[in-house]
Each structure stands twice: as C-alpha cells, then as structure tokens.
Amino acid sequence: MLAIIITGHGDFARGILQSAEMIFGKAQKVKAVTLSANESVEDLANHYQAAIQSLQPVSEILFLADLWGGAPFNAASQLVQQNPDNYAVIAGVNLPMLIEALDSQEQPLATVLPRLEQDGRSGIRRFDGRTSTD
C-alpha cells in the first residue's frame, strides 16, 4: 500500500487532509506533517522520520508538499534521494490531487505519479461567468 505524507508550512497539511477526508472519507496510511514558524529543517526531518515509522509497514511513500523549493519540499527531497525507487515527492498539492492520491493508494507509485500531476493541473480552472458551465 502506498503511504502518503502531506507536508507544508503552518497548518496547510492538516487543513487540506481534513478537507479531503470530508469528501473522500477517513484516510488510511496518511499523515499530515507541518513545519511551524519556530521549527528548523532538522525538526521537520525528525517529524518525517516519526511519520514514516508510524506508517509502517508500507513499501512506497509519496510526499505531497505545498511549495516547490520550500523547506518541507527540500527536506522530503533529501529522503527521496536516499530512496528513489520507493519514495517520491510532488510539490503544489491541491485538493483534487490529494483525493486522487487517496483513491490510488493500492496502485504502484510509478503508476500514480503521472495521474496526480494531471489531476493537480486539471483541478485549476477559471470560471468566466459569461459562459455556460454545462
């Protein structure tokens, strides 16, 4: 089973997970890991290790980060570099992407990644107001 660690600055990860669970239902093998303003990247790495331990047993882990290049992404990237066959990180997580990830946990990481990127992009749409939504 694919485990998911949602991560970001402040309470972002907890909030988006709560929203996803309102729509999807209670998630299994999922943790929200936050970076508080008074914490260091080392603190965050320790939070990741604790989350990974609590999710065991799993064969693959997907990190969904709020922002490319931010501390949560960078710390996750270091773990991915150490485990490139079993870990992955995607930045820019949004609600459609997270719901797809939750729905795809029984599938291999390599299969899930392209769909998550697509769902994340297609979840960004502008409503014009001058055209029909049909």
Q: What is the pTM of this model?
A: 0.92
Residue-averaged pLDDT of the chain: 94
Distances (CA, A) of 3 to 31, 56, 88, 119: 8, 9, 11, 19
Residue 65 CB neighbour total at 10 angstroms: 27
Based on the residue annotation, tell me whether 47 is a catalytic residue of this protein: no
Query: Tens digit of pLDDT for each residue in 86-128?
Result: 999 999 999 999 999 999 999 999 999 999 999 889 888 888 8
What confidence score (pLDDT) does residue 16 get? 98
Question: Is the confidence at residue 40, as pLDDT, over 70?
Answer: yes
Which distant-in-sequence residues (6+ apart) come within 8 Å of 105 by Cβ?
Answer: 1, 2, 3, 4, 28, 29
What confidence score (pLDDT) does residue 124 get? 87
Query: Tens digit of pLDDT for each residue in 55-66?
Result: 999 999 999 999
Structure tokens belonging to residue 7 = 């991560």
**From 9, 14, 29, 115, active-site residue:** 9
